[in-house]
Homo-oligomer: A and B are copies of this chain.
Amino acid sequence: MANSDETPVRRPVRTITDLARLAGVSPGTVSRALAGKSLVNTKTREKIEAIAREHGFRPNQMASGLRRRKTGVIGVVIPLGHDTRQQISDTFFMTLLGFLADELTRHGYDLMLRRVVPGADADWLDRFIGSGMIDGVIVIGQSDQYDRIEDVADGYGPMVVWGNHTEGQRHCVVGTDNRLGGRIAAERLIAAGAIRLAFLGDTTAIEFAARFAGAQDIAGRMGASIIALPTHLSPDRANEEIAAHLAATAGRIDGIFAATDTLAALCLTELRNCGLAVPDDIRLVGFDDLPIARQTVPPLTTVRQDIAAGAHGLVDLLLRRLAGEPTESLVLPPQLVVRQTA
């Protein structure tokens, strides 16, 4: 409805120079005025602002970025190393992404999202960083690219990674203490009466490996056994794999630690198909505490990751690094949420 009767002057003032001409000042002054610099006469500034508003002028961020050598954009990259088809629709990562978008927006940054399949190009991270389009980068998930990330960390400061923390690692990471989470899960399983445990998930992924290792710690200490049941994350494959695992281990396991709630929910369905009662025949603990954990039947006992805190930490640390501060990694504590499956 705005300007319905104008002569079709399609945005006659596109550049700061156009605006300067209209205001009868120089481009430099317009730049200063719009950037809110102090050294501009109030009247001049007001005039410029008025004209800018009137014509809906927006400074070109590419040009500004080029000149100032910063873009106001943070890159967020999701490497899809193992298990290609999954992750980008993975509820956990997507929720994290949502919070990241919020946090970055709050700080005036835009978010450039990139999904990469590292196998296809070893160069994925340098390419993104070197593009000149982003001031910093957040990597969501180490996938199987731990070494690549380490390499890059040496030469590039403004990077923070969501993932697992390892002793002596050089890249700055934010993530849940997965090993502790694994311990918590196994403890719960055993407390609920299980003694022959199984871990459902892909231990190739470093975070899952840590969860499994934590569970092994406890199993060893408490005289329980634990086996790994390799399972992909994508629901279509996972379904069959879980069914097969359940058939193969029938009667020989009484507690399952699923690497994620998604897997746990799938597992619950399969368990029902097998006529196994949860938690009476088999106890089950998930990981993440996604919304679905409340909605399964029975509701899922799980290990909670604080996604909002994670996103907050990622952005906070990145901003500090952007400012040149050195930063430690941030390891968040997992938290047991007891519902009805264990």
Q: Which B residue sits closest to A63, measured CB to CB?
A: B66
Question: Which of A92-100, A166-174, A214-222, A334-342 contacts the other chain?
Answer: A92-100
Chain B residues near A59: list those with CB within 8 A: 132
Tell me if A46 is interfacial: C-beta within 8 Å of chain B.
no
Within 8 Å CB of A31, what residues of B? Answer: none
Q: Which residues of A contact B (CB under 8 A)?
A: 1-2, 10, 56, 58-63, 65-66, 71, 73, 76, 88-89, 91, 94-95, 97-99, 101-102, 105, 110-115, 126-127, 130-133, 147, 151, 155, 235, 262, 265-266, 268-269, 272, 291-292, 294-297
Q: In the assembled complex, which residues on chain B have CB atoms less than 8 Å from the CB atom of A112?
A: 73, 110-113
Partner of A94, one of B63, B94, B132, B297: B94
Q: CB-CB < 8 A to A89: which residues of B?
A: 94-95, 98-99
B56 contacts A126, C-beta separation under 8 Å: yes
How many Å lie between the Cα of A105 and that of B117 in the bound state? 11
Q: How far is B65's CA from A132's CA once the two chains are assembled, in angstroms? A: 11
| Contact A10 B155, CB 8 Å, known A88-B101, A292-B295 | yes
Complex CA–CA separation, A98 to B88 (angstroms): 5
* Nearest B-chain residue to A111, judged by Cβ: B113
Q: Is the CB of B1 within 8 A of A147?
A: yes
Chain B positions within 8 Å of A265 at CB level? 295
Extra 10 A-B pairs, beta carbons < 8 Å, given A10-B155, A58-B130: A59-B132, A62-B62, A62-B71, A62-B133, A63-B132, A89-B95, A112-B113, A269-B295, A292-B292, A296-B297
Whole-angstrom distance from the CB of A128 to the nearest CB of chain B? 9
A340: min CB distance to chain B, Å: 13
Say yes or no: A98 contacts B105, CB within 8 Å. Answer: no
Closest to A71 in B: B62
A80 closest partner in B (C-beta): B102
Closest to A98 in B: B88
Give the docked Cα–Cα distance between A61 and B268 (Å): 48
Per the bound structure, the CA–CA distance linking A60 and B292 in Å amounts to: 43
Across the interface, A151 reaches (CB within 8 A) one of B2, B130, B147, namely B2
* A114 to B61 alpha-carbon distance, docked (Å): 15
State whether A1 touches B151 (Cβ < 8 A).
yes
Contact of A126 among B58, B61, B101, B126 (CB under 8 A): B58
The 4 closest A-B pairs by CB, nearest first: A58-B130, A60-B132, A88-B98, A94-B94
User: A152's closest neighbor in chain B, by CB?
Assistant: B2
Given A89-B98, A115-B101, A155-B10, also A131-B58 (CB < 8 A): yes
